[in-house]
Chain A
Amino acid sequence: MIYLDSAATSFQKPEAVSLAMEKALQSMSSPGRGGYPEAMRAADTLFECRSELAELFGAENPEQVVFTMNATHALNIAIKSLVQPGGRVVISGYEHNAVTRPLAAIKGVKTVVAAGPLFQPNMVVQAFDRCITPETSAVICNHVSNVFGFVQPVEAVGKLCRERGIPFIVDASQSAGMMPLDISVLGAAFIAMPGHKGLYGPQGTGVLICGGSMVAPLMEGGTGSVSIQQEMPDFLPDRLEAGTHNMPGISGLLEGVRFVRKNGSEEICQRERQLALRASEGLRRIPGVVVCGRRDLYAQTGVLSFLPEIMDVEEMGSELSDRSIAVRAGIHCAPLAHTTAGTLETGTVRISFSCFNTKDEVDTFLNAVDQILSKKRR
């Protein structure tokens, strides 16, 4: 199978990931719940993973690193910590339902969309500049659009937020592990990310990097600390980590993060962009294909959307699946992004790379698209 859906989850992982997960199942119990070797082994792994993530994302100390189930879980904590009923929130035009649905669930929230055109970061900054007012409770922007791979100008948006004293939430779902990201540079209140995409951990892992804002727990329960007290602890990470940790997952994530740090985020991104460029050029040569993006992939990562003009996007996805090529078709849980880009009616077919993909796989994919469309035209 040729896997081109790493924006959903990376499928091929470094070998060390599954080995670490198996080892965790065989040798670790619950961290923070005992002083015996199995519990302390789990505690050491947990701390190692926090420390690696803190270093990778510029957090001052490992206590700022909170483990979650996924990026959606992390975003829910961030949003519900900062946004009260009736609040005003400014978001980019490319946000995922992981942002828009939690906002819709808070009573009376006014969501203002700072919509800028695709692949024009300067215009996105101008849109945020216009929309952020003193009444704004929070600003939310994804680093990279999950649909189009558009790299949004989070540094400039973060600067606007700092100047105006507005908390900033960054959704790094499509950039963590693939692009440099530093919470101390961004001055963000929170950075939310999955562990199972660009960090090459297993599904069921996510991370919230906390920048110092007050945090509200989504869940209450045991933490192995201040147990007499019935309120959740007032310190991180315990405040946000009720219940038993996903130790097999976190053990795997630790190996994924080590892999990323060893290979370098920028190098991984460059490799994926090269594959996306090859795919983009090849798709443009096929009659009846519209590629979303500039020829040079300006302000874009290894995520690429395209539209087969004579075919439904889901049909294309299904035809590719029949040829053992995994892509994602539809609206990618991001109707707002498609509305902003003008592709809501059709949706798109999205291909997305990991560092394990090859040029040969891209060429096989291009041949398949060509064949499918040729057959359709007959």
Chain B
Amino acid sequence: MEQYLMITRSLTYAQRMEKTLSRAGIRTRIFRAPKELTDRGCAYAVQVSHANLNTVLTMLNGAGLGPLKIYLIRSGSYIELSNR
């Protein structure tokens, strides 16, 4: 199970993503995005636990939602992934 961090444009947007994923039984958590990951100031992030990122993104795209940036969390550091 991988941990991903999705940066969103707003809290409400993050909440929409959380609702969409939780309906599919995918565990998420919303929190303030680490400052080092945002270049526009305050933002929220959705942490997603799932084996397959593509499945998560397909689900979000189906609801008209897309994160600004995606990071893979590994050993306490963030690895930016291309936003497919």
Q: Which A residues form the contact surface with B (CB < 8 A)?
A: 31-32, 34-35, 40, 43-44, 46-47, 50-51, 61-63, 223-229, 233, 235, 237-238
Q: Select from chain A the residue with minimum beta-carbon distance to B41.
A: A227
Chain B residues whose CB sits within 8 angstroms of the CB of A44 once the complex forms: 15
Closest A residue to B18 using CB positions: A47
Chain A residues, Cβ within 8 Å of B19? 47, 51
Q: Is the CB of B10 within 8 A of A62?
A: no
Q: Is the CB of B43 within 8 A of A226?
A: yes
What residues of chain A lie closer than 8 Å to B71, measured between beta carbons? none
18 contacts between A and B (CB under 8 A): A35-B31, A43-B30, A46-B12, A50-B12, A61-B16, A61-B64, A62-B15, A63-B12, A223-B10, A224-B11, A225-B10, A225-B42, A226-B41, A226-B42, A228-B41, A229-B40, A233-B9, A237-B12
B32 an interface residue at 8 Å Cβ cutoff? yes
Known: A225-B9, A235-B10. A34 touches B40 (CB 8 A): no
The 10 closest A-B pairs by CB, nearest first: A227-B41, A228-B41, A35-B32, A47-B15, A227-B42, A35-B31, A226-B40, A32-B11, A225-B10, A228-B40
Chain B 24-77 interface residues, beta-carbon cutoff 8 Å to A: 30-32, 39-44, 64
Residues of A within 8 A of B43 (CB): 225-226
Q: Interface residues, chain B, CB within 8 Å of chain A?
A: 9-13, 15-16, 19, 30-32, 39-44, 64
Q: Bound state CA distance, A121 and B14, in angstroms? A: 44
Whether B12 lies near A238 (C-beta < 8 A) is: yes
Nearest opposing residue in chain A for B43, CB measure: A225
B17 CB to nearest A CB, Å: 11
How far does the Cβ of B10 sit from chain A's closest Cβ, in whole Å?
5
Is A62 touching B11 in the complex (CB atoms < 8 A)?
no
Report how far A255 CA is from B17 CA in the complex, Å: 24
Q: Give A228 to B35 CA distance when docked, in angstroms.
A: 12
What's the Cα separation between A76 and B10 when bound, in Å? 24
Interface residue SS majority, chain B: mixed
The one of B12, B30, B41, B42 in contact with A40, judged by C-beta atoms closer than 8 angstroms, is B30
**Which of chain A's residues have a CB closer than 8 A to the CB of B11?**
31-32, 43, 224-225
Tally of contacts, chain A with chain B, CB under 8 A:
60
A63 to chain B: which residues have CB within 8 Å? 10, 12-13, 16
Q: Which residue of B lies closest to A60 (CB)?
A: B64
Query: Contact: A34 with B32, CB < 8 Å?
Result: yes
Using Cβ atoms and an 8 Å threshold, which residues of chain B touch A224? 10-11, 42
Shortest C-beta distance, B67 to chain A (Å), equals 14
Q: Report Cα–Cα, A274/B43, bound state, in Å.
A: 51
A291 to chain B, nearest CB (A): 46
Known: A224-B10, A227-B41. 4 other contacts (CB 8 A): A32-B11, A47-B12, A225-B10, A233-B10
Chain A residues whose CB sits within 8 angstroms of the CB of B32 once the complex forms: 34-35
Residues of A within 8 A of B13 (CB): 63, 235
Q: Are A226 and B9 in contact (CB under 8 A)?
A: yes
Which residues of chain B come closer than 8 Å to A228, judged between CB atoms? Answer: 39-41
Report the Cα distance A50→B15, complex, angstroms.
11
Nearest residue, chain A, Cβ from B9: A235
- Measured between alpha carbons, how far is A347 from B41 in the docked complex, in Å? 54
Docked pose: A50 CA to B11 CA in angstroms:
12
- Shortest CB-to-CB span from A267 to chain B, Å, is 28
Residue of B nearest to A238 (CB): B10
Q: Give the complex CA separation of A224 and B10 in angstroms.
A: 8
A223: chain B residues within 8 A (beta carbon):
10
| B residues less than 8 Å from A31 (CB atoms) | 11
Question: What are the residues of chain B within 8 A of A229 when measuring CB–CB?
Answer: 40-41
CA distance A47 to B16 in the complex (A): 9
